[in-house]
Chains A and B, each alone.
Chain A
Amino acid sequence: ELQLVESGGGLVQPGGSLRISCAVSGFTLSDHYMAWVRQAPGKGLEWVGRSGNKASSYTTEYAASVKDRFTFSRDDSKNSFYLQMNSLNTEDTALYYCIREYGHAVGSGWHEVFDIWGQGTMVTVSS
């Protein structure tokens, strides 16, 4: 079964750091692009960023709101994908979803979709 399970969320003080994890099962992590999307309580979805696969040399893209504070990493041998969050502020309070990206060819186009989502891990930034 294709599955993503996040862990490591919790309460952290403003200015603090936290690393959340995403355990992958049912597919080979190194073959796939992975992403993080977050959702503040009662709000919509916000893209955090993505990490390329091994073939792309793990290239990364980040949302402007987290660039230079958040970092993706992965341990393909452990089938785990990580989000390191530094200099956290209250606006980072959200449910963080780990996502597998999958590419589909449609006609002459190529579409990268979020086809598998974890259940999310909650990060609360508060004093």
Chain B
Amino acid sequence: AIQMTQSPSSLSASVGDRVTITCRASQDIRSDLGWYQQKPGKAPKLLIYGASTLQSGVPSRFSGSGSGTDFSLTISSLQPEDFATYYCLQDYNFPRTFGQGTKVEIK
């Protein structure tokens, strides 16, 4: 199974900060990667697919980049509602595998 490694596992940031989360795959997965946001007590929500395509309705402050094995999710200006845990997920093959998550907390 492909291993997805996210970093950092947690970070503290302030409203307005630029935040970047990275995800590394254990093998080449082309651009077959999505990013999901999960707030406490809620189901995850799709943010980005195909490594860089924004899901409809997701604010443009979110962006994704990368291909092959290295990917990143960037929030250009952190908003109060963005404090959550973020997961990457590869859809290159089965079994699908998630990163371990990155918790974004208020500084």
Residues of chain A having any CB pair with chain B under 8 Å? 35, 37, 44-47, 49-50, 61-64, 97, 104, 106-107, 109, 111-115, 117-120
CB of A37 to closest CB in B, whole Å? 8
CB-based contact B94/A104 at 8 Å? no
Given known contacts A109-B31, A111-B32, A113-B34, is B98 in contact with A47 (CB within 8 Å)?
yes
Distance, CA A64 to CA B97, complexed state (A):
12
CB of B40 to closest CB in A, whole Å? 11
CB-based contact B96/A47 at 8 Å? yes
Chain B contact residues: helix, strand, loop or mixed: loop
Q: Give 29 CB contacts A-B under 8 Å.
A: A35-B96, A44-B87, A44-B98, A44-B99, A45-B44, A45-B89, A45-B98, A47-B97, A47-B98, A64-B1, A64-B95, A104-B49, A104-B53, A106-B31, A106-B49, A106-B53, A109-B50, A111-B32, A111-B50, A112-B91, A113-B49, A114-B34, A114-B46, A115-B46, A115-B55, A117-B43, A117-B45, A118-B43, A119-B43
Select from chain B the residue with minimum beta-carbon distance to A115: B46
Q: How many residues of B contact A (CB 8 A)?
A: 26
CB-based contact B43/A97 at 8 Å? yes
Select from chain B the residue with minimum beta-carbon distance to A106: B50
CB of B90 to closest CB in A, whole Å? 10
Given known contacts A97-B43, A111-B50, A114-B46, is B91 in contact with A47 (CB within 8 Å)?
no
Residues of chain B having any CB pair with chain A under 8 Å? 1, 30-32, 34, 36, 38, 43-46, 49-50, 53, 55, 87, 89, 91, 94-101
Question: Which among B43, B46, B87, B94 has the highest number of chain A CB atoms within 10 Å?
Answer: B43
CB-based contact A45/B45 at 8 Å? no
Select from chain A the residue with minimum beta-carbon distance to B94: A61
CB-based contact A114/B30 at 8 Å? no
Q: Which B residues are CB-close (under 8 A) to A45?
A: 36, 38, 44, 87, 89, 98, 101
